[in-house]
Structure 1
Amino acid sequence: MIDLWNPAHVSLGIDLLTALLLGMVHGVTPDEHTWPITFSYAVGSYSTWRGLRAGLIFSLAFTLQRAIASELAYLGLSRLLTFAAVDFYVYVVVGAVMVWAGLAIAQGRMAPHLHLRPSPPRADPFADPRPWMPALHGFIAGWGFGAFATILYTVLAPAMPSAAWGWTPGAAFGLGTTLVQIFAGAAFGYWAARRGLPAEAIRRVGLLTAARTLLWGGGAFVLAGLFGIGFPRLADLSFDSGIKVHNLHSIGLPFLLVVGVVIGVGFTSLLRETATLRRAVPRG
């Protein structure tokens, strides 16, 4: 029987299946390393297909990272991946990239810069996210450390029969996450597209929501990371939810980041802007 709460080495096949199932749980539960970013790029894609593509690109980059980290763990380098403050440093880097991506989308260019001389405002200031943007985010976010990473790097990866297999638990975990995140991305994209507005208005709402989620969410990640680096004991405070599922078993800073970014900024902005444009679009 596979125990996803407290797994142990059984056999190669069972270990890889365990990693795959853990990845699926990781993808479906609220996780600060995946949901805010998948939501941002999927909504910014404003269609089901492009939302699915954003979730797929993000998750495949995440899978590559986890495969590399799994191999490093097999080689006895897990301490480089699991030191106490690693998650907080990842928060800062991920947050900074989120802010940059939000500015790039909002300002309509991939390299935001200060205007040295005035220029006439453009009718459409937004830029669609480029495919490599969720890929970059996925690879960086994958270095975050939590309960799932602990299992991968200290239980499953070291149990592989040789270095040739060391990367496979991380890859299986990443593919499990991918299976869920591509559908999540498609769902977010579909939801953004089904706002009952003209195509151009849907695009504007989707890109504006994505830009705001990345900007405000990125700022929240940076502040959370700096707070955790400076006050690790306070940042690690949480209370037991009583749910025996990783990512749901405790309520703390990571859970608050997911709720604050995805619901507090993302969904709120999408609903508010949709209502505003519906009032502005003439009926009939």
Structure 2
Amino acid sequence: MSAWGWVEWLLNPPQGLSLGMILLISYVLGLLHGATPDEHTWPITFSYAVGKYSTKGGMKAGFLFSLGFTLQRALLTTLGFLGLAYFYQKYNLDGPVYVVVGIVMAIAGSYILKGKYLHLELDRLLGSRTHGRAAERKNIYEQLRDVPLKMTIVHGLIAGFGFGAYASVITFILAPRVGSLLYAPLPGAMFGLGTMTMQIIFGAAFANLARLKGLGEEGVKRLGAATAGRTLYYGGLAFVVIGLLIVLFPTIDYLALSTGVPIPNLDAVDVGLILVLTVVGGIGIGSMIKAYRELNSISSATRARS
């Protein structure tokens, strides 16, 4: 069987599977979910992992986020077994979930930035020059708080209410076949553990992006916190805006340009992929570059005065 054939088999598993095979398929689907650019996982893991600026911290961020996600998925497959998950088929919850996820992201970002960054940015947008650029940059980096990793569990629980192709398989195909309510949470739990495996790996990789040369330990710590704060705050606003647009204009959520790749999250350029690229690629990497330049500027000014 070709690689694409195996993917098709995983997404459309046959009848008569044993419980062990159902759980194995659920875990593999979780690996695929965690490895592909999903808007419910990557932006959160990136933000918190970069904020911890170390392999261990990044892995912890990926683990805690996926822990909340796994608990929700276990609940979801239980509902699927009981036939109570029909509301996912009747209603499109993407818009409301995006809005709630975005609000939580913005709150976490605001906490990291001590709430002052919004004030400073509004001053800039309104044309105020109360604060000089150098003073503004210094003020931001002196106010940064540590990244609250416990919030990742909350994010995971909320993000788990997002629904896609992988969730459809474990909820409506695999969960009803486990044979007993006692086993109903297991496909969701295994799916969550598969996602967790990949998010831990990506969390470690994302965290090490913050370790740029020439900044020193304290500089790397500040760069990570600033990047996390800005990504969560502005990424959260992006989620809220997209979520509200989907609520007002539901057809937006169904617009997609096929890529020809038969793997969910890679099969089309759609709202989800655009959100991942915007938050991680645009806001996240852009914030990292911005912070790197600002910290270098502050360091140069400090050396010039000494």
Using structure 2 for the length normalisation, give the TM-score.
0.84
Q: Which deviates more from structure 2 when the two are superposed, residues 195-204 or residues 159-168? A: 195-204
Which runs of 5 or more structure 2 residues have no equivalent in the other structure? 117-138
User: Which residue of the other structure, out of 129, 132, 137, is the alignment partner of 2:150?
Assistant: 132
User: Which residue of the other structure, out of 23, 28, 31, is the alignment partner of 1:24?
Assistant: 31
User: Which residue of the other structure, out of 145, 166, 183, is the alignment partner of 1:148?
Assistant: 166
Contact 1:43/1:188 (8 A) holds in 2: yes
**1:74 and 2:96 correspond:** no
User: Which residue of the other structure, out of 236, 255, 263, is the alignment partner of 1:245?
Assistant: 263
In the alignment, the residues of structure 1 paired with residue 154 and residue 202 of structure 2 have an alpha-carbon distance, to the nearest angstrom, of 19
In the alignment, the residues of structure 1 paired with residue 241 and residue 166 of structure 2 have an alpha-carbon distance, to the nearest angstrom, of 24
**1:53 and 2:63 correspond:** no
User: Which residue of the other structure, out of 195, 213, 216, is the alignment partner of 2:231?
Assistant: 213
Cα distance 1:142–1:123, how it changes in 2: closer, same or farther (>3 A)?
closer
Which runs of 5 or more structure 1 residues have no equivalent in the other structure? 110-120
Q: Give 1:202's aligned amino acid.
A: V
| TM-aligned CA deviation for residue 82 of structure 1 | 4.0
- Give the aligned partner of residue 189 of structure 1: 207
Q: Supply the RMSD in Å over aligned alpha carbons.
A: 2.0
Contact 2:73/2:189 (8 A) holds in 1: yes
Cα distance 1:171–1:44, how it changes in 2: closer, same or farther (>3 A)?
same
**1:224 and 2:242 correspond:** yes
More helix as a share of residues: 2
* 1:192-223 C-alpha deviation (Å, 9 max, x unpaired): 13443121111111111111111111111111
In the alignment, the residues of structure 2 paired with residue 5 and residue 45 of structure 1 have an alpha-carbon distance, to the nearest angstrom, of 35
Secondary structure of 2:170's counterpart equals: helix
Secondary structure of 2:210's counterpart equals: helix
In the alignment, the residues of structure 2 paired with residue 7 and residue 89 of structure 1 have an alpha-carbon distance, to the nearest angstrom, of 30
Using structure 1 for the length normalisation, give the TM-score.
0.90
Contact 1:108/1:127 (8 A) holds in 2: no
| TM-aligned CA deviation for residue 277 of structure 1 | 2.5
In the TM superposition, 1:108-119 aligns within 5 A as none
Cα distance 1:129–1:108, how it changes in 2: closer, same or farther (>3 A)?
farther
Secondary structure of 1:182's counterpart equals: helix
Contact 2:210/2:220 (8 A) holds in 1: yes
| TM-aligned CA deviation for residue 123 of structure 1 | 6.8
Cα distance 1:13–1:197, how it changes in 2: closer, same or farther (>3 A)?
same
Q: Give 1:93's aligned amino acid.
A: V
| TM-aligned CA deviation for residue 12 of structure 1 | 1.4
Identity %: 46
- Give the aligned partner of residue 270 of structure 1: 288
Q: Give 1:211's aligned amino acid.
A: G
Contact 1:69/1:81 (8 A) holds in 2: no
**1:40 and 2:47 correspond:** yes
Q: Report which of the two structures shows the higher radius of gyration computed on alpha carbons.
A: 2
Contact 2:72/2:161 (8 A) holds in 1: yes
* 1:50-107 C-alpha deviation (Å, 9 max, x unpaired): 1111111101111111001111111110113443321211111100100111101100
In the alignment, the residues of structure 2 paired with residue 104 and residue 255 of structure 1 have an alpha-carbon distance, to the nearest angstrom, of 27
- Give the aligned partner of residue 114 of structure 1: none
* 1:157-204 C-alpha deviation (Å, 9 max, x unpaired): 111110000010000000000111011111111221344312111111
Q: Give 1:46's aligned amino acid.
A: Y
Cα distance 1:195–1:85, how it changes in 2: closer, same or farther (>3 A)?
farther
